[in-house]
Amino acid sequence: MKSFNLRVYGLLINDKNEILISDERRNGVSFTKFPGGGLEFGEGLAEGLKREFQEEIGIEVEVKELFYVNDFLQVSAFNEKHQLISFYYFVKYKDCDSIGNEIYLSPLKEDGEKQRWISISELSEDLFTFPIDKVVCQHYIDQKK
């Protein structure tokens, strides 16, 4: 059965003008994306995004304004029967210096996830694996010009 897969992601920017990205490996597949993931049944977008940041990074973020929603067909890379609809929000966190500081090699060689900061000036769609993240990255860069 074909269905929609709702996704929600956060753009967390620190006071050093860096943005947090997530390197992950699942079922032998490595990828880089913005932090976030799938909405669970019964959740609102903000609630789901807060849960994703808690699960992935162990922090409680404040969800701010909506930045982007994809308006084009995107089939899931993991299930060809799922059409993705992805929501990207700006988020805030009070202690950004406490996260994303671990040094590691990307792409990850073992299943799991880690986060790192990328300078806004070095931000490029080439950093990201998935098409919607690439569009969001470019849209963010274009708005900063």
Domain span including residue 130: 3-144
Cα(77)–Cα(144) distance, integer angstroms: 29
The predicted structure's pLDDT at residue 98 = 95
Q: What is the mean pLDDT of residues 90-111?
A: 93
Q: CATH number of the domain at 95, please.
A: 3.90.79.10
Query: Is residue 145 predicted with pLDDT exceeding 80?
Result: no
Closest to 9 in 3D by CA, of 97, 110, 31: 31
Q: How many domains does the chain have?
A: 1
Q: What is the mean pLDDT of residues 28-52?
A: 97
Confidence of residue 1 (pLDDT cuts 50, 70, 90): confident
